[in-house]
Structure 1
């Protein structure tokens, strides 16, 4: 796929009449305002390998530039071709600068009714510091989570202002949650090029003095929705939150609910009954699923005691429940076979930043066209715009943390903080059905015998449940489990019949859980118990096949010699899985080739390696 810059959309975007029908460009799809300004595009940039920029006072941006500066296209990381920099070596400190114009502020909606200006960053890897006109704005640590600053006191209409960002990302600091980013200078094995600095949209919006900060949608059951509203600034006693719901597909108004604050506060919590759902014979009409991804649109307004609407946002939600019972995964109370694919979310020219706004939608469409119902976004907290398309088009998603590679107090604190922020950001997306805070004992390499590492993995799972008790949590995907609601296994056996024997029946299940699993790992460690949890094979396959030109450094778990051989191997693996009496789901490795990892179902450019209907038939077992 050719890299397109998302730097040239119309600077002012208008909120759609229904948030469930937006075009995928808005950076925060479940809290939409009518006006905003996209600051992506060409910025001034330079490396600072000697970390001299602070001493040399680059914080004022040198009038939106630096000594020996060059251009970069934001939000593409400087290691990528799409950025225009294309320098993948070790560069632990980088600087960015851009002019915020008076037109930018006007486009963001700055007015007497919306006098506060918010500066938003989707993600900056890993530690960011921000200045405007040389005045320090703030800093943020965490390479995959969003952050914002109120910059009202630093900007004004009629003037231009210089925005400066310093990003620090030490490639050798293994306590940073980094996911698949390589600590070697050149990518090797299953690790890829690094991402430094800005890799998601930077944007401005203007809001009222007191405004809606976050929304948290949680379906409680088939007929009730819990909404948590956090405000920026406290609302006066007697203020109200007014919520109106629509089912746009039918043009059906589902009701309006108001809640009043008895005292001044910045938090509202309310339960919204959906009256139409009390007819049990029709309740599934509104349920969200991959087969029927029905979304409910919402308008949420902050209303003063005198009845004035001071802030109004558009949002959406999905009416669905997930759970586990007696060895099966439940979606909307019924058993559901999870047929998933591992998705690295990595593109050749733009790395972990999507190459265009449309790329997120096309990724979801391709996954569904291949016959999958789910995706495990691997070692990456994905852009919310991908999750929007998963919500809208119907794709289950496993939300996973990018792992650190070291175990220390610093590593524990960093991952815990970033993961908690990620869960809070994404908790309202109906597509996310499972949380995965750790993978393959990364960062807890000695979890089998080390009680401190066991406590850490268990606490990650428990704090996830504390933040969101509505979804299953996996403490350590694929290997040693200490507190998982689903027991997951990674098994790269290349022979379909042998794979089938490992997961055939109850005797095989007992051998798996009470003996040594694949790679010689125990599935249950510490005080973990077999409570009848569902068991899923969440990594398997990884069969390398390279049509056309071949990479000398190609890597995979097994290799096929031709397209026919490749598709036969994949079909045999799926036949073995389908014959299992207890597997509740699976996840094939992987969606696309990624750098030297050539075990994708698609090429790195998102082209199927054989006709897509052949791949779908092998995966689903049907035409």
Structure 2
């Protein structure tokens, strides 16, 4: 590749890394920074007296927010205010729109523009958009946001956010704005959403695009796919409806070895650049850039298959919290976590009880990690909780649809929110319903119906077991017969693994939570499933558990695992690294145990021979 081509590729990657919507990139402007702030129960913006300033996008419970006093748990209502002065280039003409995007506001948000109500959104983990064109045409304008977050509401999809003071495996709550706020100017007729779906059998990418409005006569869309500077596919299509499906056949070399150069895997994270251009009567009205990837996911013969090849999953649990900023990260921190996982030998992460920023998922796409994505749980079973879970899940499915790293959806974890599922048919139906909804909307990925136990329906058979003795772990999961006996004889976690006769059958068995060993120095307190007091003992214990899990894969008892966990998270100190991301044990020994191979200092990130040397992450 020439220096110019490398520069072009790096520029595309940098743009994707910093853009809050990596697959649909246009010029944008961040509104992050200091906003006026008040914690008060006012219902209208004119009744608010702003008493402080807050650093957006950090939650008020974090030190990064800049607030001098911690937010009391009894506070439920927060107000934010800022003033936006559009540049001449940002002021929308009559045929243009200025869109205001909120990455996430926990839990419910009301947006006011110049004191007038503009939009409402519920759901603390997903983005939403407000049209502020009319105000922007008048000059500088004011944005106010009211966020309501009742921590005692157990019907709210909250994930690991505690409803009281942090304890055990639950963490400080997050309220208000906690992800970036930004604007972009678009033509009235623009590409509102874009989803890329790979079809490996046909060696093609399928673009599913939705326009903001029904097309005018003469509307066309051009879609290009690139491998660096090389054009792989280029199609120009007459647009006849607001929703369109456009297949793009890629040049198929036919031979597997040559084909593999185009395919995405964690150890060969191949991304293809994309550009979509919308025109009306030959006038370009919108152009976006992004990326896509070719890969397939399936389960067969008790194996997890990636691109039709058995691909044992060696994952770590990722909570996604930082000591100073809570759930809010940035590009440097996202990249750091992904590289930490790869240095430790893992080829995947389970995003546990949190919906990550799409920029984090971009780094998993680019640097190579397979992802399981949890829906943050509610803890009550009510019509309201199921409605909220379903709405949030639908938004998550759309948000992550084009990311090749996402391979498994997890709508329920350990029956959280389904407390009486062994006895209550309605709760069993809820598990079936979200499984069926997920499979209906996305047949290209697998679904773990209720991860860990009390499974009614699932594409994978998952188990959670925090036994601290490596030999016992191997005895339980080292062969197919051992797994079947363990399921029947011993219920890990004290719960029945499958309900109504649900058994592994042809599904891959995944030990999707195990380990959990904490290193807590003498004289300090910390929570974990097993506690050791020095680093040598820690490395030995964890190495033994990882080696046992690897031997269980070789013995065909399981076809993957997820170690708890990548980093410490507040009082839960069972990470392989501290909350500061510094590894606790010997990285070479641990990564070798994860991979079941000798450590190669020339390949510390465990990439394939084909990929090695093509990138400098």
**Is this a same-fold pair by TM over 0.5?**
yes
In structure 2, C-alpha distance between the alignment counterparts of 1:367 and 1:594, rounded to whole Å? 16
Contact 2:91–2:137 under 8 Å retained in 1: no
1:226-260 deviation per Cα after TM superposition (whole angstroms, max 9, x unaligned): 11001112212442221011001xx3210201222
Name the residue aligned to 1:133: 114
In structure 2, C-alpha distance between the alignment counterparts of 1:278 and 1:257, rounded to whole Å? 22
In structure 1, C-alpha distance between the alignment counterparts of 2:253 and 2:154, rounded to whole Å? 50
Alignment match of 2:58 (pick from 60, 66, 76): 76
* Root-mean-square deviation (Å): 1.9
3-state SS of paired residue (1:24):
helix
Alignment match of 2:547 (pick from 559, 566, 575): 575
Contact 2:538–2:585 under 8 Å retained in 1: no
3-state SS of paired residue (2:392):
helix
Q: CA deviation at 1:333?
A: 0.9
3-state SS of paired residue (1:511):
helix
* Structure 1 residue 588 corresponds to structure 2 residue 572: no
1:441-460 deviation per Cα after TM superposition (whole angstroms, max 9, x unaligned): 10001112211111101111
Q: Do the aligned partners of residues 569 and 123 (structure 1) sit closer, same or farther apart at CA in structure 2, a change above 3 Å counting?
A: same
Alignment match of 2:35 (pick from 26, 33, 43): 43
1:276-318 deviation per Cα after TM superposition (whole angstroms, max 9, x unaligned): 44555521110011111110101001122x2222111001011
Structure-to-structure mapping, 1:408-557, within 5 angstroms: 408-526=382-500, 528-547=502-521, 551-552=524-525, 554-557=526-529
Contact 1:475–1:481 under 8 Å retained in 2: yes
In structure 1, C-alpha distance between the alignment counterparts of 2:262 and 2:274, rounded to whole Å? 14
* Structure 1 residue 165 corresponds to structure 2 residue 169: no
In structure 2, C-alpha distance between the alignment counterparts of 1:424 and 1:408, rounded to whole Å? 25
Q: Do the aligned partners of residues 225 and 23 (structure 1) sit closer, same or farther apart at CA in structure 2, a change above 3 Å counting?
A: closer
In structure 2, C-alpha distance between the alignment counterparts of 1:20 and 1:201, rounded to whole Å? 19
Name the residue aligned to 2:188: 209
Contact 1:544–1:555 under 8 Å retained in 2: yes
Contact 1:424–1:467 under 8 Å retained in 2: no
Contact 1:454–1:526 under 8 Å retained in 2: no
Q: CA deviation at 1:341?
A: 0.2
In structure 1, C-alpha distance between the alignment counterparts of 2:489 and 2:332, rounded to whole Å? 47
In structure 2, C-alpha distance between the alignment counterparts of 1:458 and 1:534, rounded to whole Å? 19
In structure 2, C-alpha distance between the alignment counterparts of 1:466 and 1:333, rounded to whole Å? 21
Contact 2:39–2:79 under 8 Å retained in 1: yes
3-state SS of paired residue (2:539):
helix
Name the residue aligned to 1:347: 322
Q: Structure 2, unaligned stretches of length 5 or more?
A: 1-7, 600-617
Name the residue aligned to 1:388: 362
- TM-score normalised by structure 2 residue count: 0.92
Alignment match of 1:89 (pick from 72, 77, 87): 72
In structure 2, C-alpha distance between the alignment counterparts of 1:36 and 1:512, rounded to whole Å? 54
In structure 1, C-alpha distance between the alignment counterparts of 2:590 and 2:550, rounded to whole Å? 16
* Structure 1 residue 291 corresponds to structure 2 residue 272: no
Name the residue aligned to 1:6: none
* Structure 1 residue 236 corresponds to structure 2 residue 216: yes
Q: Do the aligned partners of residues 506 and 111 (structure 1) sit closer, same or farther apart at CA in structure 2, a change above 3 Å counting?
A: closer
Name the residue aligned to 2:4: none
In structure 2, C-alpha distance between the alignment counterparts of 1:307 and 1:277, rounded to whole Å? 34
Q: CA deviation at 1:486?
A: 0.5
In structure 2, C-alpha distance between the alignment counterparts of 1:550 and 1:155, rounded to whole Å? 58
In structure 2, C-alpha distance between the alignment counterparts of 1:81 and 1:322, rounded to whole Å? 41
Tell me the number of residue pairs that the alignment of Structure 1 and Structure 2 aligns.
585
Q: CA deviation at 1:112?
A: 3.9
* Structure 1 residue 225 corresponds to structure 2 residue 202: no
Q: CA deviation at 1:23?
A: 5.8
